[in-house]
Amino acid sequence: MDGWDNSAVVLYGNRNYMAETTEEFDRWMENFDSLASCYDDPEEWTVTWKELANDWLHPTNKEKYDEADFKRWEDMLKTCEDLDDEKNICEALEIMTGKEYSHVQICGSCQGDWQTMYYPVDDWSKESLEAFAMLYFNTGSEWDVWDEESGEDESCGYYVTSYNPREWLENELCGEGDELVMYEFTGYSQVGNWTEG
C-alpha cells in the first residue's frame, strides 16, 4: 500500500485467513520453546540460553543483544505460557527489532472477518490503521468523479478508505474555492412507456 511500510506488520490470529508474518515473528514462533528449554535445563545443552537467543532470535537492529535485552528475554522465559498471547508477541517483536509494537483487531463487515494486526507504533496512525483494514477486507467505498468545469463527459473512479468519504475526496481533489457536490446512488427508477391503443 502506498506510503506505508508493511514489511514490519504481522497479520495473525484468525485461522480462516492466511497469516502474513515477518522473519522475526517466524523465528519467535519456531524457536522460543527451545530457548525456554535451554533456560530451564541448561545442563542438557552445550550452549547457553544467551548464545541461543543471539543465534536463533537474533536482533535485527544491532549485532548482538545487550544485558538489558537479555533481562527482557529472561523475564519472558520466566512468565511466557502462551506464544500466541498478544502481549508476548509484541514484546518479542520489540526486543528483536528495537521498535515499539502494539496490536489491534481489524474487522470487515461479517462476523468472521477479523484479524489481529501487530505493527510498529511509530509507523502507523489511527487513520492509516483504519485505511489498512478497509483495504484488507475491501470495505471502502467507490466514487465516480466528474469535473464539471472541464466540460468533458468522463469520470475518474476513486476507492476511498475513510469513514468520511466527503472529507477524503475534498482533501484529495478540491483546491481553494472548489466545491464538491456528492450524489449517492440509491437505485434505479423505472419510467413507464405509453403507446396509443
High-pLDDT (> 90) share of the chain, %: 60
Listed by start position, the domains of the chain span 6-137, 141-173
pLDDT of residue 1: 44
**Cell numbers describing residue 121:** 507504533
- Grouping H, G, I as helix, E, B as strand and the rest as coil, residue 160 is strand
pLDDT of residue 163: 84
**Cell numbers describing residue 46:** 552445550
User: What digits encode the pLDDT tens for the residues 149-179?
Assistant: 766 667 788 888 888 888 888 888 888 778 8
Single pTM value for the model: 0.80
Q: Which of 28-32, 33-37, 186-190 has the lowest mean pLDDT?
A: 186-190
CA separation (Å) from 172 to 92, 127, 182? 39, 15, 14
Instruction: Tell me if 106 sits within 8 A of 133, measured CB to CB.
Output: yes
Backbone angles phi, psi at 31, to 5 degrees: -120, -15
**Measured on CA atoms in the order 142, 148, 149, 154, is the torsion positive or negative?**
positive
Checking if the pLDDT of 5 tops 80, the result is: no
Task: Give the single-character DSSP code of 112.
Answer: T
